[in-house]
Structure 1
Amino acid sequence: MQAYTPLMICVRCRTPLKTFEEYDSVASLRRSATPRGDLLEVRYLHPPRPEPWDHEPEPGVANVDSEIAMICDFCSSPGPRFLWLTGGKARLLRAMDGGGQVHDFGSSPWAACNTCSAIVRAGNLHMLLDRWRKCSFSLRGANRHQRREEEALIRRMFSAFLNTRPQGPFPIPPSGMAGS
């Protein structure tokens, strides 16, 4: 049975955080999403948005009573309406200076707006990427090299998610969710 990964939020602004694990080495990116070596650090970051964050993340575990300011995990639109559960662990490795960074999407639910939920239901990676490109804040001000690098990372992330054969959509209950 798959272990549950708790949802980490910023206790200051109630926004779900992205999880990154730093390892001193990683397996081949082509063959495996398995970290090798020692875990050096776990970091939590705010998701991208048009205006800069006015504070550093203050990580904490969300509980059932937590009020959460949710955004769509695919296009960053506020007020997602649905959750998708991964069919397994969705991990993404990125080699860095001889070591590696693992973005662990874990078994936490992925939030989706109406549009992205329909695209996930269809399992269409290309449409999901098109939607991300249209709505992405992380591409603003980026040069061509940065855009290609970011798009390759997002492509691998969405592909890893879709490869878990996610289950859903499940409606997000209105209680406890800010901005929904």
Structure 2
Amino acid sequence: MAMPSGGARAKAGRMPDPSSEAFQQRAAGLFALPANGYRRPHPKFPLPRYVVWFTFKDDDGFHREPDDAASAQWNERERDVWNELWRYPQGYAWSRPQYKYLQHMVALYVRQYVLCESSDAKAADRTTLCRYADSIGLTPQGLRLNGWHIVADEKPQARRRSAKIVDFPDPRDEWQSMQE
């Protein structure tokens, strides 16, 4: 009895060759993200403030109290990561109405990212971070799953020609002329 294949997965198969004709045809229908990133105002961090708890033991047993200094530091780090992520090309997509639903997941990614920076992070936390990154388009697989691709915003400026530079013919042009 044959086992079912299980369907498409984020990291299944080889990465496509961007220079192939098949890739170019698929890329025609992709949502283009500007390579220089998103430079407009973005929403405020939507999750409630994170509270870091301090646990201590006294004669009555274990107790927990909020650690205000650590909580402030944690929330500042979340704000910094949030602001940095919105400067990425993906910020342009997250701002579009059809992808607005991803904004909350971006916030969850930020919280998970800050957690993974701490010494308390577990392997499961890091795995969750990778899954969030795929979902919000921060990885090559995530870009592909969301139907996004990053494109250069402006054409490169022509290099100034120096008198010392000697132009050589392009071998592809020579090959084409030999075929005719």
Please give the TM-score of this superposition, normalised by the length of structure 2: 0.26
Greater Cα radius of gyration, structure 1 or 2: 2
The structure richer in strand per residue is 1
Q: If the length of structure 1 is used for normalisation, what is the TM-score?
A: 0.26
